């Protein structure tokens, strides 16, 4: 009876902060599309790339310039008087042909935009993984707290009973000190678990971009993908290289660098513009027209080392991207292999071991319950706590497996339940 009261009081003292009702994993993951600062940074890069595409395409747009001049002039022959020589002009000019410079710039900007958009997809995938990780951290913290709370309560009952027996002269002071020290150690661990409950909830709120809104309860998710059949590494590697958003973004960045190089190599090529000019002048002259139209050919014959320097810099950037590309391929393939090995280990080793531990603890709990009813032993509370720890271990394995499957889905750019179809295509 005393144990029940202690557990009840400890449960009432739990102070997990709460501003929301029970939260599900699906609701938490839906927050991945919210305007989280990490995702917002990538969204800003996408907006910048969109502006670059617009700017590149505008290089051949029609330009209209209005010019006005107020000046005084004196003819070389005449009476030497100063006369007004004011003018107003409207000049419209449009590029007709620039030897692919504009097209190369547009292609490079579009490739860069496509790369940034794929990076945004990758960023949101990472945000979902982060939210899922934080969600499972909270559940693990809750399970750990429940077990630590149970262990502390059992230790307190043992210590309290020993105190009573010490007063009756049935136990020595040393015996009581041992039980007191054990209770204090478990109390410290239980309080650390309580603090972890708050910390993990705060981390989850931040991952969901809902800072300060801490969920009081989290629903246990149905992890249906944990038993999906996963193809072999050799079968999945081509899927990775065909669909991984980060890999595709890196390849597009490499393409953009090539297209910028092509544009730079045409910087010394001529440019042909069509021009129309309408003007009005306060002083007429034989060389002035109120309306004129024509073609203007501009040919940069010599620009010093400016173009060569820009080409050299872009070539260095291209080589840097090539090196990054090779390194990324190695990292992604290694990540794929590590993820598959982790899934195999969790399914074939960690899960059976956790299940066996639960079966063992259930048997031990039944035995302790029977002995408690016969008043042979008083270790029922400890057996209950050990059973809770075994269950927590099983939960933790399933959470790790769910994260590994989610990471596999993000790596391959496809839901895990569609992996078999992806391999067979």
Full domain range(s) for residue 243:
222-267+304-425
pLDDT exceeds cutoff 70 at 125: yes
Predicted pLDDT of residue 2: 42
Taking residues 104-111, what's their average pLDDT? 90
Per-chain mean pLDDT for the chain: 85
Q: What is the DSSP pairing of strand 72-73 with strand 83-84?
A: antiparallel
How deeply is 135 buried, as exposed, middle or buried, from its count of CB atoms within 10 A (0-12, 13-18, 19+)? buried
Confidence of residue 333 (pLDDT cuts 50, 70, 90): very high
Residue 352 lies in a domain: yes
- Name which of 155, 226, 178 is nearest 401 in CA terms: 226
Q: What is the CATH number of the domain that holds 231?
A: 1.20.1600.10
- Flag whether 79 is in a domain: no
Cα separation values, 268 from 102, 105, 417, Å: 13, 15, 54
Query: Can you give the pLDDT at residue 425?
Result: 57
Q: For residue 84, is pLDDT > 70? A: yes
Residue 13 confidence (pLDDT):
44
* Strand partners for 298: 271
Residue 321 lies in a domain: yes
| Per-residue CA distances from 319 to 52, 112, 214 (Å) | 22, 17, 47
129 vs 267: CA distance, rounded Å: 46
Judged against a pLDDT cut of 80, whether residue 287 lies above it is answered with no
Mean pLDDT of 375-394: 72
By residue count, the chain amounts to 425
pLDDT digits (tens, 9 = 90+) for 169-197: 888 889 889 889 999 999 999 999 999 99
Phi then psi for 214, rounded to 5 degrees?
-100, 130
Q: How many domains are there within the chain?
A: 1
The pTM (predicted TM-score) of the whole model is 0.78
Residues 6+ away with beta carbon under 8 Å from 369: 380, 383
pLDDT at residue 378 above 70? no
pLDDT greater at residue 3 or residue 26: 26
Q: Is 12 a domain residue?
A: no
90 in a domain, yes or no?
no
Q: Is the pLDDT of residue 12 over 50?
A: no
Does residue 146 form part of some domain? no
pLDDT for residue 1: 38
Residue 256 is assigned to a structural domain of this protein = yes
- Token pair for 19: 């501003």
Q: What's the rounded mean pLDDT across residues 45-49?
A: 90
C-alpha span between 376 and 325 (Å, rounded): 69
Mean pLDDT value across residues 107-135:
90
26-37 average pLDDT score: 82
Answer yes or no: is 196 within a domain.
no
Structure tokens at 359: 């079966």
């Amino acid at each position: 009876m005393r144990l029940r009261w202690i557990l009840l009081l400890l449960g009432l003292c739990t102070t997990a902060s709460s501003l929301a009702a029970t939260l599900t994993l699906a609701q938490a993951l839906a927050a991945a599309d919210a305007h989280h600062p990490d995702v917002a940074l990538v969204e800003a890069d996408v907006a910048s790339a969109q502006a670059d595409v617009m700017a590149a395409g505008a290089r051949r747009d029609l330009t209209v310039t209005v010019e006005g001049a107020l000046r005084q002039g004196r003819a070389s022959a005449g009476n030497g008087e100063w006369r007004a020589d004011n003018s107003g002009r409207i000049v419209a000019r449009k590029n007709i042909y620039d030897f692919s410079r504009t097209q190369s710039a547009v292609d490079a900007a579009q490739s860069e935009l496509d790369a940034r958009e794929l990076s945004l997809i990758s960023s949101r995938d990472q945000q979902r993984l982060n939210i899922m990780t934080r969600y499972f951290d909270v559940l693990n913290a809750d399970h750990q707290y429940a077990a630590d709370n149970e262990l502390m309560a059992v230790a307190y009952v043992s210590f309290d009973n020993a105190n009573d027996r010490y007063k009756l002269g049935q136990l020595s002071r040393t015996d009581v000190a041992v039980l007191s020290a054990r209770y204090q150690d478990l109390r410290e661990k239980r309080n650390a678990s309580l603090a972890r409950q708050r910390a993990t909830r705060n981390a989850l709120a931040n991952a969901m971009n809902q800072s300060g809104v801490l969920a009081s309860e989290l629903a246990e998710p149905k992890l249906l993908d944990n038993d999906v059949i996963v193809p072999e590494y050799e079968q999945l590697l081509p899927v990775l290289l065909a669909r991984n958003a980060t890999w595709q973004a890196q390849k597009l960045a490499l393409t953009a660098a090539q297209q910028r190089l092509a544009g730079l190599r045409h910087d010394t090529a001529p440019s042909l513009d069509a021009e129309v000019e309408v003007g009005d002048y306060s002083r007429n002259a034989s060389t002035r027209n109120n309306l004129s139209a024509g073609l203007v050919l501009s040919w940069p014959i010599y620009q010093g080392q400016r173009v060569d320097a820009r080409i050299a810099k872009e070539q260095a950037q291209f080589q840097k991207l090539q090196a990054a590309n090779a390194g990324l391929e190695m990292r992604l393939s290694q990540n794929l292999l590590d993820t598959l090995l982790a899934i195999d280990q969790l399914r074939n080793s960690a899960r059976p071991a956790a299940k066996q531990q639960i079966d063992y603890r259930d048997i031990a709990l039944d035995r302790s319950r029977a002995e408690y009813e016969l008043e042979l032993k008083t270790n029922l509370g400890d057996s209950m706590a050990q059973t809770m720890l075994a269950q927590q271990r099983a939960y933790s394995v399933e959470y790790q497996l769910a994260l590994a499957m989610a990471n596999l889905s993000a790596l391959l750019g496809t839901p895990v339940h569609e992996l078999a179809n992806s391999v067979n295509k």
